[in-house]
Amino acid sequence: MKNIKLLFLAFVVATIVSCNNQSSSESSDLAVPVSVENIKLKSIQQFISTTGTAKAVSETELTSEIEGEYYLQINPKTGRKFKLGDRVEKGQVIIKLENEEYENGLAMESKKLNLEISEQEYEKQKSLYEKGGVTLRELRNSEVSTIDAKYSYESAQIQMAKMQVSAPFSGVIVELPYYTKGVRVSTGESMVKLMSYNKMYVEINLPEKNISEIKLGQEALITNYTLTEDTLIGHVTELSPVISNETRTFAGKVEIDNPELKLRPGMFIKANIVTAQKDSVIVIPRDVIMSGSRGKYVFVVERNNTADDRRITTGISNQDEIEIVEGLSANDRLIIKGFETLRDNSKVKVIL
C-alpha cells in the first residue's frame, strides 16, 4: 500500500513539472501581434497652421440712385427673372427704374440733337475759316458750343444710367430684396448685393516667433470642414512688418484660388502655410516614434519575425508625419500598431 502511494505521488509531481515546462515553452514562443507598413520614399511639407474667415475679393451693395417704379429684369441665361445665386456679367442690367418726370427733365433727345447741330456748325465754320470767310474767334466760339453740347449730352446719359441697376463686375447675386413689380422705390433703397468669389482671401494673425519663417508668395493649403475631400491653394500676398503690442502677433493676408466656387464667403477655414518641403525622402507617422534614454527610436520587423528598435534622426515635420534623416531605409517594415509593449528582439506576428 505504501508503494502504491509513493508511485501515485511520483506521477503527480511528474505531471506538474511537465505542465510547467510546457507552459514555459509556450510563453517563450508567444509572439506579439503587430501591423506593419513598408517604408516608401515620398514628399513631406512643413507648415504653420492658422485659421480665419474666408471673404470675397470683390463685393458690393447697389442702391437706387433715383426714385422710380421697380422692374426686375429677365436673366438671359435662365429665361426667368434674376434670383439669388444667379451669375451676372459685368455691365448686365439687373433692375430698371422708370420715372417719366425724371426722364423728361433730362431732355435726352433735344441734347442729342443739339450736339449734332453744334458738330455740323463747327465743321461748317472750319471750312469757312480755311477760305477766310470767318474769323478765328468765330471758329473758336463754334468749337466751344460743340464742346458744351457734348458735355451736356454726356451728363444726361450719366443721369439716365441711374435708371438702371447694373453689375459693376462679374459675380453672383447674394442678396436680392423683394419689391412688388411697379412699386415706387425711394432713392437709397437697397437693390442687390453682388460678390465675386472665384478668388477669396483670409486675414491671418501669426505668433511673433513665426515672423522669420513666413514670406510673401508662400503656398498655403486651404481646408474647410464641409470640404473634406478638397484642398484649395492659396498664397501669402500681404505681411505686416509690425508686431502687435497687445497680442504679440503680426498680421497678413492669404489669397485663395476658388475657380469652382466650392469655398463660400463666410466659411471658417484652416490655412497651412508651407514653410519647407522635401521630395523623395523617408517619411513616417509621428505617433509611432518612441523616446528613451538613448533618444528617439521606432520598431521594424526583421526577417526572423523579431522587433528591432532603430535609433533615428528626424528632419522636417508636420502635424501627422515626420522626415527620417538617419536610421531607416526604404522597404523597411515599420511597425505602426502593437509597438507600445515591444522590446528589442521581441517575437512578433504580422497581422493585417
Could you tell me the sign of the dihedral formed by the alpha carbons of 42, 45, 49, 54, in that order? negative
- Asked if 195 contacts 54 with a C-beta cutoff of 8 angstroms, the reply is no
Tell me, what's the pLDDT at 119? 95
CA distances from 74 to 67, 80, 83 (A): 21, 5, 10
Tell me, what's the pLDDT at 164? 96
Tell me, what's the pLDDT at 2? 42
Task: Tell me the DSSP string of 244-267.
Answer: -TTT-EEEEEEEEE-TT--S-TT-
Looking at domain 59-192, does it have CATH number 1.10.760.10? no
Tell me, what's the pLDDT at 29? 52
CATH 2.40.50.100 domain span(s) along the chain = 59-192
Task: Tell me the DSSP string of 101-127.
Answer: HHHHHHTHHHHHHHHHHHHHHHHHHHH
* 47-56+196-278: CATH superfamily: Efflux pump adaptor protein, beta barrel domain (2.40.30.170)
| Alpha helices, DSSP H, located in the chain | 2-28, 100-106, 108-131, 136-161
Pick the CATH number of 32-44+279-350 from 2.60.120.920, 2.40.420.20, 3.30.360.10, 3.40.50.1820: 2.40.420.20
CATH 2.40.30.170 domain span(s) along the chain = 47-56+196-278
Copy the grid coordinates of residue 67: 426714385
Percent of the chain with pLDDT over 70: 91
User: Alpha-carbon distance 137 to 298, whole Å?
Assistant: 98
What does R_g of the chain's alpha carbons equal in angstroms? 40
Name the β-bridge partners of 291: 296
Copy the grid coordinates of residue 136: 478765328
Copy the grid coordinates of residue 145: 458750343
pLDDT 10s digits, 286-314: 999 999 888 999 999 998 999 999 999 99
Tens-digit pLDDT profile for the chain (352 aa)? 444 444 444 444 444 444 444 444 444 458 899 999 999 999 999 999 999 999 999 999 999 999 999 999 999 999 999 999 999 999 999 999 999 999 999 999 999 999 999 999 999 999 999 988 899 999 999 999 999 999 999 999 999 999 999 999 999 999 999 999 999 999 999 999 999 999 999 999 999 999 999 999 999 999 998 887 789 999 999 999 999 999 999 999 999 999 999 999 999 999 999 999 999 999 999 999 999 888 999 999 998 999 999 999 999 999 899 999 999 999 999 999 999 989 999 999 998 6
Per DSSP, the three-state class of 194 is: strand
Per DSSP, the three-state class of 91 is: coil
